[in-house]
């Protein structure tokens, strides 16, 4: 069973929070209070994060399929059939895979700092990091990646938080996520086709230089998706622009809670 925290709020529906690599559910600390005014929350720690099982404890190949299966097992344990999902960074990749394979479990999706593919620079960076992984401490590697991903002064809080959370992660778990990088593009390949009835809100920062351009191109023509780009905001938009992120997310989920509550 994955490590999770269940928060009872002022509502009947649930929001499932999915964090990024090296982080934890703590990254949503600025969302808890406003979200709980209208919803219950399940904050899940991915495999190898928080108190969730180490990745090498799973039988068989570690994959996006196995991750989604573990998340749904957790929700089944809590008797939650359908929920709103809020993912950030890596969490958006997991939500995309869920939308491809089990769209009926998703009432709506909010995707912050979404990743639909890796550009040439990102692929080269990941390949280089993998080549030098045995020669430097993994936290050095994580710090370098964090600075490249969130380089500006106004990204400082996000960068600091991600590095702080990564110290709690075991090296073997961090490195076990690397082989999945090659599958990132496939997690989005059929999202538009398989989840056309699931409303999706994408919130990204204008300064998310690694991913926002490809995201905008990939979403072109997707009638079930909305894209909001926040100025002076980096990759981790739920921290950089928390107030706006919360406002947009709640307005979106409220709208689709009302629309779908009677047919789900």
Residue with tokens 């979106």: 252
> What does R_g of the chain's alpha carbons equal in angstroms?
17
Q: What is the pLDDT of residue 194?
A: 94
Average pLDDT over residues 2-26: 93
Q: What is the pLDDT of residue 148?
A: 87
Q: What is the pLDDT of residue 21?
A: 85
Tokens read off for 126? 């990941």
Mean pLDDT of the chain: 92
Contact 151, 203 (CB under 8 A): no
Q: What is the pLDDT of residue 122?
A: 85
Q: What is the pLDDT of residue 149?
A: 87
Q: What percent of the chain has pLDDT over 70?
A: 97
Contact 42, 75 (CB under 8 A): yes
Convert the pLDDT of each residue in 155-204 to its tens digit: 999 888 888 888 888 989 988 888 888 789 899 999 999 999 999 999 99
Q: What is the pLDDT of residue 133?
A: 83
SS3 99: helix
Is the pLDDT assigned to residue 260 strictly greater than 60?
A: no
Is the pLDDT assigned to residue 261 strictly greater than 60?
A: no
pLDDT-derived band at 127 (thresholds 50, 70, 90) equals confident
Convert the pLDDT of each residue in 43-54 to its tens digit: 999 999 999 999
Burial zone of 251 (CB within 10 Å; 0-12 exposed, 13-18 middle, 19+ buried): exposed
Q: Give domain limits for the chain.
A: 4-260
pTM: 0.93
pLDDT-derived band at 71 (thresholds 50, 70, 90) equals very high
The CATH homologous superfamily of the domain defined by 4-260: Alpha/Beta hydrolase fold, catalytic domain (3.40.50.1820)
Q: What is the pLDDT of residue 26?
A: 92
Average pLDDT over residues 108-130: 90
Contact 108, 198 (CB under 8 A): yes
User: Using CA of residue 178, residue 180, residue 186, residue 190, what is the dihedral sign?
Assistant: negative
DSSP lists the bridge partners of residue 202 as 111, 227
Average pLDDT over residues 9-14: 94
Tokens read off for 200? 């999706």
Contact 94, 67 (CB under 8 A): yes
Is the pLDDT assigned to residue 5 strictly greater than 70?
A: yes
């Amino acid at each position: 069973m994955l490590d999770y925290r269940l928060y009872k709020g002022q509502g009947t529906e649930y929001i499932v929070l999915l964090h990024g690599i090296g982080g934890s559910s703590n990254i949503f600390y600025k969302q808890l209070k406003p979200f709980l005014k209208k919803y219950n929350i399940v904050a899940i720690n991915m495999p190898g994060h928080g108190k969730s099982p180490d990745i090498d404890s799973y039988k068989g190949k570690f994959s996006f399929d196995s991750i989604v299966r573990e998340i749904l097992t957790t929700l089944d344990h809590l008797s939650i059939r359908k929920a709103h999902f809020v993912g950030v960074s890596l969490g958006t990749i997991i939500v995309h895979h869920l939308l491809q394979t089990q769209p009926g479990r998703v009432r709506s999706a909010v995707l912050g700092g979404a990743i639909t593919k890796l550009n040439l620079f990102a692929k080269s960076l990941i390949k280089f990091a993998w080549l030098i992984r045995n020669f430097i401490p993994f936290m050095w590697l994580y710090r370098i990646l964090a600075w490249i991903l969130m380089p500006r002064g106004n990204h400082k809080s996000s960068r600091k938080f991600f590095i702080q959370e990564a110290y709690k992660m075991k090296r073997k778990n961090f490195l076990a996520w690397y082989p999945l990088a090659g599958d990132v593009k496939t997690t989005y390949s059929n999202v538009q086709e398989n989840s056309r009835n699931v409303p999706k809100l994408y919130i990204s920062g204008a300064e998310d230089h690694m991913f926002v351009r490809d995201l905008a191109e990939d979403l072109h023509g997707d009638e079930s998706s909305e894209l909001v780009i926040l100025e002076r905001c980096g990759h981790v938009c739920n921290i950089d622009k928390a107030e706006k992120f919360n406002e947009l997310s709640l307005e979106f989920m409220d709208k689709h809670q009302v629309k779908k509550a009677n047919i789900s």
